[in-house]
Amino acid sequence: MNSDCVIIFQMLEDSIIMFVKNELKKMQNDLNPDYSEWQRDEEEVLDSEEEKQRRSSREAFLKLAVNFLRIMKQEELADCLQSSERISLHKFSLYRNEIVTISIIITLVTVLTKGVAGIGKTFLTQKFTLDWTEDKTNQDIQFMFPFPFRELNLVRDKKFSLVGLIHHFFTEIKEAGICNFKKFKVVFIFDGLDECRLPLNFHITEILTDVTESTSVDVLLTNLIRGKLLPSAHIWITTRPAAANQIPADYIDVVTEVRGFTDPTKEEYFRKRLSNMEEANTIISHIKTSRSLHIMCHIPIFCWITATVLESVIKTKQAGGKLPKTLTEMYIHFLVVQTKLKNIKHDGGAETDPLWSPESRKMIEALGKLAFQELQKGNLIFYESDLTECDINVREASVYSGVFTQIFKEERGLYQEKVFCFVHLSIQEFLAALHVHLTFTNSGINLLKEEETASVQSGESSVRHFYQSAVDKALRSPKGHLELFLRFLLGLSLKTNQNLLQGLLTQTGNSSQINQETAQYVKTKMNDTLSPEKSINLLHCLNELNDDSVVKEVQHQLSLGQLSKVNLSPAQWSALVIISLSSETGVDEFDLRKYSASEEALLQLLLGGCNLTERSCEALSSILSSQSSRLRELDMSNNNLQDSGVKLLCVGLGNPHCMLETLRLADSLFQEIWIFHNCHYFIDLICCFYCGVQQFITMIYNHPGDSGMKLLSAQQEDPHVKLEILW
């Protein structure tokens, strides 16, 4: 062996040792419960061919590591590592796996699961699939095919048969020669309907029944969901609520909702996320004092953002040690923390160096432009064509994702195509608001006007118009996708927040006077006829403007017990909602007879009460289904519910999250004709295993009839029924 060969092999040995050390470190991080998927070390940006080779090497090393662990009798660690080998999905936080228990059994044909961005819908599908691959659940299912819509978007212009589409994404099925799925139990998971860019038209789409016939991908999906194509298949679709109506209700058998963390789980998250218990307790106490932060913490990723920011503020004593109380403050601190990390890790800077270098400004401005333009279109993921529209090439985007890893990320899916997205929708909304604010303060251009190029004159009147036009545009948004954006934009108008971004954001005139006028404008809009959701969001906007006058007014009236003497405005009803949702000032009991005997009360308050009709029952059913609902006793006596109203109420009563223990329905006017046909349904819901109703009191003056009473009595004899008292 010549000397050159010896040197080469020595270099090879060094490279292999370095590779093994790095991979073992990553594996340790993956198995660390305090290490989340958003805390990965940044990786260098590689071209596609080099990246494929690196990925292939990692997969081979993973198998080697699993084999050695088994030889060492470390079966548990081997199983953990092998989990990532057995399922070809993006890895998810093992920590969240510790505190989230999921048990899903597919027994219905088509299920639609709703939930806000970042609440855990994708995690839910991944956990479900992983449990199936590990033989933990649903072993009667032979095939499970996860199809993220972001992957299907990449082949929207191609034609496939259903069999061809499966073979395209799952080559092992093609290699096995499996083409006939009729004799198998098959589950299709379509994750992220809100990210879909396919023209799903359920009204004029051609009928397709042959799984081997080629057509466009959108026609395949619509026929699969309608039950025309492979009718034996089970389908699970996840989506944000605003996009759920893309699929007609006739094609959905069951609708579920991911509600996120409960109050105890929020605290558990912070205690496990932070090693310092004193810091954890400080953060938990602080979150409880801020209504907007406490409510947002039901979203797992927001808990992560909150922990990241507050831990940094506590340790570095930023802003004099004052912890952020509003959403805007929180996200400004988050941007500052991530920019400092970028400057230190990638630019070799020091903690004391200026924060906003020209490079950092350029990156934030580019990401902000992308965030705003795509938010207006309703896009949460971005392809090369989207980046080009914002003057960002793929190489630049890869650099951004490699530098601002906690803000912007690059992903490769089943088809190995590059897609980009912000770590969470709220980060996109914040950067979009920052971009609009920067554009206005730097050039006087109001991007919220119909014609984006139309500039406005400088001066306080233009600033006043800028914020008021933002309120108007957000209220006109039919899907509510600008609501959080508006909260951030108004929050950025405060001088204190502009100071936190000094060097990036310039101040806007007489901010104090402008803030007061903007707050007054928001209050005026709250007295318009708005949905409860929009009204509550405007109240949050007032919070971002440091205006708590409406909340204080309601709290004062509550303390005096005088709310029965006044007619609450929509703004005040919204304030009552916020007060009730606050963990520190929560109201234990609501008797709406003391406040207002109107249906408007329930529709604004979304709790329960007086003069209720069918419309009210639908809203109340939603409350009973809510994971955050603490209702234990409900008196709906003397309401004209009618049969249809009771049927709607039953949906909420039958939800596993329903915590109701006592229900009163005296003189609620549901008739024998409904009970005769539906008493089985009603009784099953009241007395089912997961319904906690123990007292079903005073059906006096109702007319269940003999048949209904016999069914009620028979069910009460069932040993599995929790019902103890029936009047």
CATH, residue 625: 3.80.10.10
Question: Residue 128 has what pLDDT?
Answer: 87
User: Which residues touch 192 (CB under 8 Å, ≥6 apart)?
Assistant: 121, 122, 148, 149, 150, 238, 239, 380
Give the structural domain span for 624.
Answer: 602-726
As beta bridge partners, residue 111 has: 236, 254
Mean pLDDT of 115-141: 84
**Using CB atoms within 10 A of its CB, is residue 341 exposed (0-12), middle (13-18) or buried (19+)?**
middle
Mean pLDDT of 504-529: 83
Domain end, chosen from 213, 230, 257, is at 257
| Statement to judge: residues 33 and 123 lie in one domain | no
Domain end, chosen from 209, 241, 257, is at 257
| Statement to judge: residues 190 and 77 lie in one domain | no
Question: Residue 211 has what pLDDT?
Answer: 94
94 located within any domain: no
CB burial readout 540-570, b (16+ within 10 A) else e: bbbbbbebeebbeebeebbeeeebeeeebbb
| Statement to judge: residues 105 and 250 lie in one domain | yes
Domain end, chosen from 523, 544, 565, is at 544
| Statement to judge: residues 133 and 244 lie in one domain | yes
The C-alpha atoms of residue 3 and residue 466 are separated, in whole angstroms, by 73
Three-state secondary structure call for residue 646:
helix
- Whether pLDDT at 372 is above 80: yes
Nearest to 621 by CA among 611, 600, 636, 638: 636
CATH of the domain at 181: 3.40.50.300
337 located within any domain: no
The counts of H helices and E strands in the chain are: 30, 14
- Whether pLDDT at 599 is above 50: no
384 located within any domain: no
Phi and psi for 51 in degrees, rounded to 5?
Answer: -65, -40
pLDDT in tens, 55-89: 677 777 887 887 888 788 887 777 666 544 533 33
Percent of the chain beyond pLDDT 70?
66
387 located within any domain: no
Nearest to 102 by CA among 77, 76, 123: 123
The pLDDT confidence band at residue 638, using thresholds 50, 70 and 90, is: low
Question: Residue 680 has what pLDDT?
Answer: 45
For the chain, give the mean pLDDT. Answer: 75
- Whether pLDDT at 455 is above 70: no
**Most confident of the following: 59-73, 132-146, 702-716:** 132-146
Q: How many domains does the chain have?
A: 4
Question: Which residue did the predictor score with more confidence, 273 or 564?
Answer: 273
Pick the range with the lowest mean pLDDT from 83-97, 154-168, 316-330, 451-465: 83-97
- Whether pLDDT at 106 is above 60: no
Question: Residue 355 has what pLDDT?
Answer: 83
| Statement to judge: residues 44 and 105 lie in one domain | no
pLDDT in tens, 301-314: 899 999 999 998 88
Mean pLDDT of 193-218: 89
The C-alpha atoms of residue 689 and residue 685 are separated, in whole angstroms, by 9
- Whether pLDDT at 92 is above 50: no
Mean pLDDT of 369-389: 89
Residue 538: its H or E element: helix 532-544
The pLDDT confidence band at residue 31, using thresholds 50, 70 and 90, is: low
| Statement to judge: residues 152 and 51 lie in one domain | no
Question: Which residue did the predictor score with more confidence, 94 or 475?
Answer: 475
379 located within any domain: no
438 located within any domain: yes
pLDDT in tens, 386-402: 898 888 988 888 888 88
Phi and psi for 726 in degrees, rounded to 5?
Answer: -135, 120
Question: Residue 561 has what pLDDT?
Answer: 66
Pick the range with the lowest mean pLDDT from 81-90, 229-238, 313-322, 432-441: 81-90
| Statement to judge: residues 75 and 181 lie in one domain | no
Question: Which residue did the predictor score with more confidence, 212 or 92?
Answer: 212
550 located within any domain: no
The C-alpha atoms of residue 285 and residue 410 are separated, in whole angstroms, by 35
| Statement to judge: residues 128 and 64 lie in one domain | no
| Statement to judge: residues 118 and 240 lie in one domain | yes
| Statement to judge: residues 110 and 251 lie in one domain | yes
Residue 147: DSSP 8-state: E
Tell me which amino acid residue 225 is. I
Three-state secondary structure call for residue 148:
strand
25 located within any domain: yes
Angle at 624 (CA atoms; ends 622, 628), nearest 5 degrees: 95
- Whether pLDDT at 677 is above 50: no
| Statement to judge: residues 26 and 59 lie in one domain | yes
| Statement to judge: residues 29 and 176 lie in one domain | no
Question: Which residue did the predictor score with more confidence, 523 or 136?
Answer: 523
- Whether pLDDT at 17 is above 60: yes
The pLDDT confidence band at residue 9, using thresholds 50, 70 and 90, is: confident
- Whether pLDDT at 188 is above 80: yes
Pick the range with the lowest mean pLDDT from 194-198, 321-325, 449-453: 449-453
